Chain A
């Protein structure tokens, strides 16, 4: 089988990526604008011997994929806005119990029911801090279908590597837009498989003891090792503990295993950053318009560049700082009230020269919207 070329929706690109990555268990609940993912997988998964289940709500969907991950499967759920809110409880559980799983959130306008059929990037902070308590999280995004495909595979690879939930933060615009997707041959993109313990039955296995390289080998439920999984603070066997040293050690481990690898986990694209006087920072659908502006201005000799972020969490602050270091101004382009802009401000040395080009009315940000802001920055009037 050679590379397949398809003309698909972004949501379908996500499905293709998940299947390529080895997804074999999906649980979900219908919600606009992510429903196509569930619909497609209800057909595609059993065709490949995998399993799909429609649960009673998003809480149950998240819970079910955690259960299926523990029996050794690659798992995913997909949702949007209100459903993502409902998932936060079990998402925290997956963080605490170190369960590999992927949660796709095709963002729509919120809060509450908001504007279901329109795009938004308003859940960036919810992805970071939606579940309670200190923790770290990985969240990835993409602006076109080839990248949706690639980032979905990355999400599965990172989930398996670090034993953690990974959030795919797409948006309605990319999710529903149609464009070309090339699905490479199996084997072309490397996949990370579940790391299973080599400890034999009858020998003490520690499900929560990291190896020297930081990875934690797993044992499937049903195999020879019996251990406990809990959302409580726990020791290396998985049994509850309130010993301050154990609690401290675990929270440090959960945060450090991700935050200490911020640069390693950073995925981004650079467009004309070498000599850029104005650097735009953008992601997801908004980055499409930003790129359009950059290309046009370059034709006119203006030194504009774009840093397109694909890893949103852990926030790649070193990379943002480095790429923006020589800029006169930084323009963050996003479909919210500045959720990533605040992070960019924290990352750079000159927060006063970080500007926001945004829309929060459910309408896709156009190159024209961005140009208006650029005129202001460049002192060309309104």
Chain B
């Protein structure tokens, strides 16, 4: 199958703005699914609310477009009730970490076999450019007209601390790497988190004078380094890309199967 076979092509061109990184994330994700040779019927995609969450409408899987921040909770019900399904949950940064923060950390903690993709553009795009928990200090947003004083989360650190057993990061510039990480995340048995830095040229870019979409992607190239790069020693502000956590741990659905076995013995 080609990547386009996984699309609901009748809805294209999609609703995202020209140059929106979310389209590139969709592109990377489809390549991962295609390279793994997955069938459309074995995948459930659950998403929340926001620009990012519209992704579920465009893919020809079983798709569940849920509530703001709650996608992982819906996905947990899907996965536990039918563990043979592959469940992928793309989320925006506000979606995953502000309103959905509690669901996020608990999904990490349970280590349920779900692939979470955080499409991090550091802004609320759909509502017009308010700061998110990922914006960080000094950013301009419609709700931070005098510059933002809210400190940001580090998704990788948070997912790691909360117990996710696969944690990785890439960017839309590094689309090849993003595809590779998503592939590994899908194959990983347990809760996996892939953060992908994704540009919102319309709001984040414009308000912070970061130029066109391509300039923002170029910026991702400049501000990131592979994990362990010596450049990070000279410039601690550089953001690392790659796999931070990849470990085996008891997976929730399998553990529950053991509970059933035990309970049925009486």
Contacts and interface: CB of A to CB of B under 8 A. Distances in A.
A43 B263 contact: yes
A67 B75 contact: yes
A214 interface: no
Contact of B62 (A51, A61, A226, A230): A226
Contacts of A227: 62-63
Interface stretch (A52-60, A103-111, A244-252, A279-287): A52-60
Interface string B86-103: 000000000000000011
A165 to B, nearest CB: 14
Interface residues of B, dominant DSSP: helix
A47 B264 contact: yes
A70 B87 CA distance: 13
A67 B62 contact: no
Interface stretch (A3-11, A217-225, A294-302, A333-341): A217-225
B interface, size bucket? 35 or more
A342 interface: no
B207 interface: no
Interface in A54-77: 55-57, 59-61, 63-73, 75
B217 to A, nearest CB: 29
Contact of B81 (A25, A49, A63, A231): A25
A89 B68 CA distance: 10
Contacts of B84: 222
A228 interface: yes
A49 B46 contact: no
B143 to A, nearest CB: 22
A130 interface: no
Contacts of B24: none
Interface in B109-159: none
B19 interface: no
A63 B102 contact: no
Contacts of B264: 46-47, 49
Contacts of B66: 63, 93, 231
A60 B109 CA distance: 14
B64 A67 contact: yes
Contact of A226 (B63, B79, B81, B103): B63
A69 B42 CA distance: 17
A90 interface: yes
A90 B259 CA distance: 28
Interface residues of A, number: 43
B56 interface: yes
Contact of A90 (B67, B76, B260): B67
B76 A222 contact: no
A229 B77 contact: no
A258 interface: no
Nearest to A223: B41
A67 B259 contact: no
Contacts of A228: 56-57, 63-65
B61 interface: yes
A225 B114 CA distance: 22
B263 A46 contact: yes
Contacts, number: 133
A47 B263 contact: yes
B57 A55 contact: no
B78 interface: yes
A27 interface: yes
B216 interface: no
Contacts of A226: 40-41, 60-63
A52 to B, nearest CB: 9
Nearest to A220: B82
A209 interface: no
A67 B65 contact: no
A46 B259 CA distance: 7
B85 A60 contact: no
A22 to B, nearest CB: 14
Contact of A68 (B41, B78, B103): B78
Nearest to A47: B263
User: Quick one: which of B46, B56, B65 has the most chain A CB within 10 A?
Assistant: B65
Contacts of A47: 263-264, 266
A255 to B, nearest CB: 21
Interface in A239-281: 239-240
Contacts of A93: 66-67
Contacts of A222: 41-42, 44, 62, 82, 84-85
A227 to B, nearest CB: 7
Contact of B70 (A27, A43, A63, A73): A63
B11 to A, nearest CB: 8
A229 B73 contact: no
Nearest to A49: B260
A232 interface: yes
B126 to A, nearest CB: 13
B222 to A, nearest CB: 38
Interface of B: 11, 40-42, 44, 46, 56-57, 60-67, 70, 73-82, 84-85, 102-103, 106, 256, 259-260, 262-264, 266
Given A231-B65, A239-B11, 11 more contacts: A25-B81, A46-B259, A51-B260, A56-B73, A68-B77, A70-B78, A222-B82, A226-B41, A226-B61, A228-B57, A229-B63
Interface of A: 25, 27, 43, 46-47, 49, 51, 53, 55-57, 59-61, 63-73, 75, 89-90, 93, 220-224, 226-232, 239-240
22 contacts: A46-B256, A51-B80, A51-B81, A51-B256, A60-B73, A61-B73, A63-B73, A63-B74, A67-B77, A68-B80, A68-B81, A73-B81, A93-B67, A221-B44, A221-B62, A221-B82, A222-B42, A222-B84, A226-B61, A227-B63, A229-B63, A239-B11
The 7 nearest A-B residue pairs measured at CB: A67-B77, A64-B77, A63-B73, A68-B81, A46-B263, A60-B73, A230-B65
